[in-house]
């Protein structure tokens, strides 16, 4: 099996400082979290921006730019910018950040009902984002919230809007999306094209469980406060501790953590 690629999803859209004091909100705090996660063994950082004023999700190009530049200056991490958009952010707001030309960006290939809202991604929006990524030489991480989204991602590749081998991230255990069970994970893994790489993310307590299955099945993992703020029941922790834990666990199973350059090779980044 390949070495384990660990993606740190340090901020996301939802966790607030009120829920956990460890979530980085300001650009410099997000960069600092990246530095610590890289030291702990992460190879990829999944980036969201927040409004420092009220912690709400931000589409501000300048904030993404500050985070991107800081991470490039202080780490060798693969930077993966989220194109996710809450609260009805329009295509333009979700795409202009791609002009930063991060090595990767997330691309959700379908719509899903979140517990309190519709996460709408129309076919046209998905194709436009995919085209922008291809234009800028950015590798998409296909964010898979349900099985049908895999077929949508493969269809993009068939249209020439994504370049194989594809990389997938299975986001499991969010209410409204695919439940976090090992049966579902096996089905997702068996549904992607040969040669594709994949990562498993789990929401809340499903994070450690799905990560561990992925380690054993030859996949890769996503950890961090975007998906899960509790290190164990009742105990909050900073992002790097989640990275440290999966590094230790995976090493026991013969999957040492990949460096960012090793991850570039495994995912066929330029």
Which residues would be at the binding site for Zn ion (CB under 5 A)? Answer: 82
Report helix, strand or coil for 25: coil
Least distance to Zn ion, CB of residue 19, Å = 16
- Strands annotated E in the chain: 6-9, 44-47, 49-50, 57-58, 78-81, 104-108, 112-114, 117-119, 139-144, 167-172, 197-202, 220-223, 230-232, 235-236
CB-side neighbour CA atoms (13 Å) of 153: 30
Least distance to Zn ion, CB of residue 84, Å = 5
- 165 prior amide bond cis, ω within 30: yes
Q: Residue 192's closest CA among 219, 216, 173, 215?
A: 219
Least distance to Zn ion, CB of residue 169, Å = 9
Least distance to Zn ion, CB of residue 82, Å = 4
Residue number, 75 or 82, with CB nearest to Zn ion: 82
Residue number, 46 or 189, with CB nearest to Zn ion: 46
Least distance to Zn ion, CB of residue 202, Å = 14
Instruction: Select the residue whose beta carbon is closest to Zn ion and give its number.
Output: 82
Q: Residue 198's closest CA among 177, 218, 181?
A: 218
Residue number, 45 or 258, with CB nearest to Zn ion: 45
Residue number, 154 or 225, with CB nearest to Zn ion: 225
Q: Is 217 exposed, middle or buried (0-12, 13-18, 19+ CB in 10 A)?
A: middle
Under 8 Å CB-to-CB from 133, ≥6 apart: which residues?
A: 98, 105, 107, 139, 140, 162
Residue number, 82 or 109, with CB nearest to Zn ion: 82
Residue number, 82 or 212, with CB nearest to Zn ion: 82
Least distance to Zn ion, CB of residue 80, Å = 9
């Amino acid at each position: 099996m390949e070495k384990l690629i660990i993606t740190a999803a340090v901020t996301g859209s939802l966790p607030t400082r009120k829920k956990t004091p460890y979530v980085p909100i300001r650009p410099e705090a997000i960069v600092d979290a990246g530095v610590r996660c890289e030291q702990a063994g992460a190879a990829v950082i999944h980036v969201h921006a927040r409004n420092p004023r009220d912690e709400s999700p931000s589409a501000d190009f300048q904030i993404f730019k500050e985070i991107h530049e800081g991470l490039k200056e202080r780490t060798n991490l693969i930077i993966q910018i989220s194109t996710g958009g809450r609260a009805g952010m329009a295509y333009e707001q979700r795409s202009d950040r791609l002009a930063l030309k991060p090595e990767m960006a997330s691309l959700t290939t379908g719509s899903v009902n979140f517990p309190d809202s519709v996460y709408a991604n129309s076919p046209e929006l998905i194709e436009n984002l995919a085209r922008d990524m291809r234009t800028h030489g950015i590798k998409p991480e296909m964010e898979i919230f349900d099985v049908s989204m895999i077929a949508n991602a493969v269809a993009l590749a068939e249209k020439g809007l994504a370049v194989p081998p594809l990389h997938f991230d299975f986001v499991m255990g969010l209410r409204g999306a695919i439940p976090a069970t090992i049966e579902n994970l096996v089905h997702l893994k068996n549904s992607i094209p040969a040669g594709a790489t994949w990562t498993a993310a789990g929401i809340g307590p499903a994070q450690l469980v799905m990560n561990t299955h992925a380690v054993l099945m030859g996949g890769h993992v996503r950890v961090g406060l975007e998906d899960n703020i509790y290190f164990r029941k009742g105990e909050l922790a900073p992002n790097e501790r989640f990275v440290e834990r999966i590094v230790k666990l995976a090493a026991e199973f013969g999957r040492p953590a990949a460096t960012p350059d090793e991850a570039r090779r495994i995912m066929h980044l330029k």
